[in-house]
Structure 1
Amino acid sequence: MINTIIFDLGNVLIDWNPYHLYRKIFDSDTEIQHFLETVCTMHWNEEQDAGRAIQAGTEILVGQFPEHEANIRAYYGRWDEMLGGGIEGTVNIFKKLKDSSRYKIYALTNWSAETFQIPLKQYDFLHWFDAIVVSGDEGLRKPDPRFYQLLLDRYEVKPEEALFIDDNYRNILAAREMGIQSIHFTSPEDLNTQLGQLNLL
């Protein structure tokens, strides 16, 4: 019996995409792709999500790629421009789940503690959660099983009574390994269908 729902945030409830920013800086998506695959990579970003200070992470890359200094500094200096708003369909699903009063609802997110204050101020729906566990605060990130376990232990959640929703399949596999039923998020419409099939919505 599912009594707890755990949401990822980025690209499930919040549209976060570096392209929103870098389309204002580069001339083509090909250039952006190359920059994000070779300079400001997802692995580098996840180190800040896991607790490394933004300034430290930035200086590391500036030292490695001085020719891209301005573009590297824009990553966090103009980070708010990477936010495209709440994903309306998922926010509506969240509201229905919350209004049903059937579930405890948490967020488990890979997010820098330094940037998380920005969406927290912008999006009211982030205050609907019973709690949010932020990787940057904890020094752990998905798919590390210790990060999932931290939430389970802190809020006394049994894995078999929880449902986890994330857009990153790597994180879904890690949750399933821990006995947490999971939905790989691809769209609000698909999520709505799957929740209906599970009689959760």
Structure 2
Amino acid sequence: MQTNDKQNNSTQKDLIVEFFTKHPNRDIKHPEIVDWVSTTYKERTGKVFRDPDREIRKLAQSGFLVKIAKGIYKYDPEKASKRDLEDFTPAQKEKILTRDDYKCVICGKGKKEGVDLHVDHIKPKDLGGEATIENGQTLCAQHNFMKKNLKQTETGKKMFIRLYELAKNENNEALEKFCTDVLETYEKHDINGHIVWDK
């Protein structure tokens, strides 16, 4: 049974790869991908493709696909062939850590506090982010974990909401105004509207 599951997953992944390699350099919406792979899988195997979303996400996370926006993916042959080069080299990591003074760019904690530091892609690899010094940043393990589970803009908005609330409680008008300006910019550009800011 386990062998069959592995074969099915392999076949499903191969089918998605086949679809994208036939449509290179085109932004493709999720329904088009799912409809084609589901229909083709049924025609070829007589079985139902249960979870195409998972295989698509895995291909994006591995760097084979570029996630353009929510539910939109692209296969860029040039990027796919270079995906192994998208990790930072030891020399790049050292330059980024040195530039950031061996401290997390979010909380400021670093080696002195005994914090594990990670070199992170600002624009994630699965969104086409490259391994360049400019696209690198130092994060502590906690904030790197948060960024991976929340988009970076979400992490930032939550941080500014907490800072805004603290400034209000402390009657720090300058800091409150600064946070208000930042949070209103989020609203102006309709970024992370699902995270509620109580003014």
Normalising by structure 2, what TM-score? 0.29
* Larger RCO of the pair (alpha carbons < 8 Å, separation 6+): 1
Larger of the two Rg values belongs to structure: 2
